[in-house]
Chain A
Amino acid sequence: DAGVIQSPRHEVTEMGQEVTLRCKPISGHDYLFWYRQTMMRGLELLIYFNNNVPIDDSGMPEDRFSAKMPNASFSTLKIQPSEPRDSAVYFCASARFYGYTFGSGTRLTVV
């Protein structure tokens, strides 16, 4: 099993640009989570899906953030327009029962 796959690993973009982060969960996992990690705030849950349906998006900071899961093997997190304060590491995690498996993250820098 290749684990949770995220792309890109690094993204540097200019303020105002659209950013799309991608995630492929582990096959058979029916939960998918998007987290953001910063030194100041630690790990923050942004949104999670169950069976491709968004269940809780209360952690999404603003309308500039949106997430989709069109099928069981793919999810995207989009930021439009991006701002410097969005700079962070974004993790995707998937789960079937109790334990979460995290991807290696996307390090986003907005300049």
Chain B
Amino acid sequence: QKEVEQDPGPLSVPEGAIVSLNCTYSNSAFQYFMWYRQYSRKGPELLMYTYSSGNKEDGRFTAQVDKSSKYISLFIRDSQPSDSATYLCAMRKNNNAGNMLTFGGGTRLMVKP
């Protein structure tokens, strides 16, 4: 079993829909949680960064962490065709670049006009 599990999708939604992307993990030592967005033929780019449990909002994006359930989510409101990409969750044990990120496999999202 992988340390971080993520449904690969693809997830197809109409423009304007609310999207929910999720990851589950098994290591309770993870404290810092990230979401990366990867467009086709590009490298992943950092989208959201959160610490421990709770919510963080940035524009149309909300990251949610539930450490008791070992479950993290990314919500996208008013989804746009430009949101079509692969979304990867990532997590680590401490807030240090030298502490390795563990990535999920990514969920491919398609937002149709």
Q: Residues on A close to B: CB < 8 A? A: 4, 30-31, 42-43, 45, 48, 50, 55-56, 91, 93, 95-105, 107
Contacts and interface: CB of A to CB of B under 8 A. Distances in A.
Contacts of B106: 42-43
B25 interface: no
Interface string B81-107: 000000010000001111011011110
Label chain A's interface by main secondary structure.
strand
Given A45-B100, A100-B97, A93 B49 contact: no
A98 B42 contact: no
Interface residues of B, number: 20
A98 B34 CA distance: 10
Nearest to A44: B103
Contacts, number: 53
Interface in B57-98: 88, 95-98
B101 A100 contact: yes
A42 B97 contact: no
Contacts of A95: 97
B41 to A, nearest CB: 8
Given A42-B105, A43-B88, A100 B46 contact: yes
A105 B43 contact: yes
Contact of A42 (B42, B101, B103): B103
Contacts of B96: 98
